[in-house]
Amino acid sequence: MSSSVPRLVVAAPSSGSGKTTVATGLMAAFAARGLAVSPHKVGPDYIDPGYHALATGRVGRNLDAFLCGPELVGPLFLHGARGCDIAVVEGVMGLYDGAAGEGELASTAHVAKLLRAPVVLVVDASSQSRSVAALVHGFVSWDPEVRVGGVILNKVASDRHEVMLREALEQTGVPVLGVLRRAPQVDTPSRHLGLVPVAERRAEAVEAVAAMAAQVSDGCDLDALVGLARSAGALSGAAWDAAEAVASSPPPPLPSPKLSASLEQGGPPSSSRGSAPSTPPGGSAPWTPDRPERPRPQTPDGLVVAVAGGEAFTFSYAEHTELLTAAGADVVPFDPLRDEELPEGTRGLVIGGGFPEVYAAELSANEPLRKAVADLAQSGAPVAAECAGLLYLCRELDGLPMCGVLDAGARMTERLTLGYRDAVAVGDSVLAAAGTRMRGHEFHRTAVEPGAGAEPAWGLRTPQRRVEGFVRRGVHASYLHTHWAAEPGVARRFVERCRTS
């Protein structure tokens, strides 16, 4: 099976060059032409996809070759692009910047090659003229497998400046597909972790996206860009499907011994991402996809899994909800800033990432919901919390009372913790069996003390060996963001624990 969805990858020599403005503007401009646009973002970033969704009316999706593995990039792309006329993929950092120490892995260039997609290079031309040709030539020639199909010049000062840039670029043979002048109205506010999410500034975000669309429409050759997108090579293989992923995931393994001692003695042997031990304790045979006990995904039967949302909890991969639904859950969103009760019939709770530190006073003031969350956790029901969710479950955040599920305090810090992580489940939990290996991402300016409970959630091997997070009864709380498409058994295990708890 092959697919040839027209597609472009929007890249740049470095962060701050204007990728988000151009990518979001292109998405909105194409949508204004009546095209169904599929929006994507390279890497783990949750914030840019919110602007992409606003521009296109479709869920923004991430393509991360580190978190999910290179083999899932194409299928996840095809899943998101179903029924679309064109796809726009916004890159991450500079074109060739990937996971630290891993070569090209997870870079924009890597994803472009996996998607067989042409690249549009956005260049900040504000402080150069003829040198732009050397810069573009270097990016074009660095990796012959990356096809740079055109350049969009950003922050051009004047007509004269534009002429100088175009003349220089004629020598490279790379066409100029757009020229954008300085336009402060398209700027979007930032704070300690990047852009302010769409959910926190809906009206202003709508205006910003409209301004990006207008600037791109006025300054870019949209017809040429559509033509370039149509030159993308065909992709082989099928689109990712949540129901199929859940159905083919291994059943929850038998309980395994905890790995704390192993980690202290140098850690478990290296293994593939998202895998549990091939032979469960007790000597049973390894799981294989065609074993007869493999169940089909269950249909929702009123088993409610509540998922936190609203302004304070905006970070979640779309595939998580899809996998929970495929595993049989009735996924119901709620807003911890406004709702005083959990959704009726809640059997499990998922609290993803976001900015509780910005809304600490409001979250603390919602005492009825804090008590409901604490009561649910005390009952033994499954609770999965990542980063922001971890902070919310703590005893306090910056001195303000939170849910008190964990005997730990959280506070804002000046230090940015950022990067990919290799992780192994230290013990059994509602998300994973002991020994399950996954890859994750940390991104925060907060600290939790202590950093790990008596039963840690994960043992991390990078950037230094340590244990992290908390497992307590049905609670799994950690700073680590993971992508469940890499290990769909996580969703299946969580829902089955909801059903039996």
Residues marked as catalytic: 387
Residue 85: helix, strand or coil by DSSP? coil
What are the structure tokens assigned to 142, written together?
A: 């660095």
Contact in structure between 66 and 102 (CB atoms under 8 Å) = yes
| Residues contacting residue 164 through CB under 8 Å, at least 6 positions apart | 129, 130
Tell me the C-alpha to C-alpha distance, in Å, between residue 486 and each of 69, 244, 273, 317, 377.
7, 13, 8, 12, 26
Kindly report the three-state secondary structure assignment for every residue of 433-465.
CCCCEEEEEEEEEEEEECCECCCCCEEECCCCC
Host H or E run for residue 293:
none
| Distances from the Cα of 156 to the Cα of 79, 124, 152, 165, 305, angstroms | 37, 8, 10, 9, 50
Structure letter (DSSP) for residue 341: S
Do the Cβ atoms of 454 and 470 come closer than 8 Å? no
How far is residue 344's CA from residue 376's CA, in Å, rounded to a whole number?
A: 12
Burial 472-495 (b: 16+ CB within 10 A, else e): bbbbbbbbbbbbbbbbbbbbbbbb
Give me the residue label for tokens 């988000």: 20
| Residues 150-185 as b or e (16 or more Cβ within 10 Å = b) | bbbbbbbeeeebbebbeebbeebebebbbbbbebee
